[in-house]
């Protein structure tokens, strides 16, 4: 991987972590304007819980996919295993990301 590829990739991935946290205070303010209630703690708590659940599911799914494609540690991997790893860590997450974009509207 070339350095410029890694840098661009880092910036794209960083945006996925920074932007939602930057937008959450605006959501809290908007909710307070709409309802008149101060529910910022609840919003941040629900966001944190959802983040922990999604991270746990992601780690679990990684183990399932590696097992599904026949990953065996400390040995040379088969073509099928390498293809599964490439799909799971490349086009499949990209497709899921694109499919989730309408949820932001």
> Is the residue at 96 inside a domain?
yes
Same domain, 47 and 1: yes
> Is the residue at 15 inside a domain?
yes
> Is the residue at 64 inside a domain?
no
Give the global pTM: 0.68
Domain that holds residue 87: 69-105
Q: How confident is the model at residue 2 (pLDDT cuts 50, 70, 90)?
A: low
Same domain, 75 and 45: no
Q: Is the pLDDT of residue 95 over 70?
A: yes
> Is the residue at 87 inside a domain?
yes
Q: What percentage of the chain reaches a pLDDT higher than 70?
A: 93
State how far the alpha carbon of 74 is from the alpha carbons of 32, 66, 71, 77, 78, in Å: 54, 14, 10, 9, 12
Domain total in the chain: 2
DSSP string, 24-61: HHHHHHHHHHHHS---HHHHHHHHHHHHHHHHHHHHHH
Same domain, 47 and 78: no
Same domain, 47 and 7: yes
Enter the DSSP assignment of 78: P
Q: How confident is the model at residue 57 (pLDDT cuts 50, 70, 90)?
A: very high
pLDDT of residue 40: 94
């Amino acid at each position: 991987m070339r350095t410029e590829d890694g840098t661009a990739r880092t910036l794209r991935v960083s945006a996925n972590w920074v932007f939602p946290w930057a937008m959450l205070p605006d959501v809290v303010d908007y909710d307070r304007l709409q309802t008149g209630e101060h529910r910022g703690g609840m919003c941040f708590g629900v966001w944190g819980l959802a983040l922990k659940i999604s991270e746990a599911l992601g780690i679990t799914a990684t183990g399932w996919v590696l097992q599904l494609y026949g990953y065996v540690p400390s040995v040379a991997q088969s073509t099928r295993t390498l293809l599964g790893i490439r799909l799971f860590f490349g086009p499949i997450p990209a497709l899921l990301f694109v499919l989730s974009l309408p949820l932001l509207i």
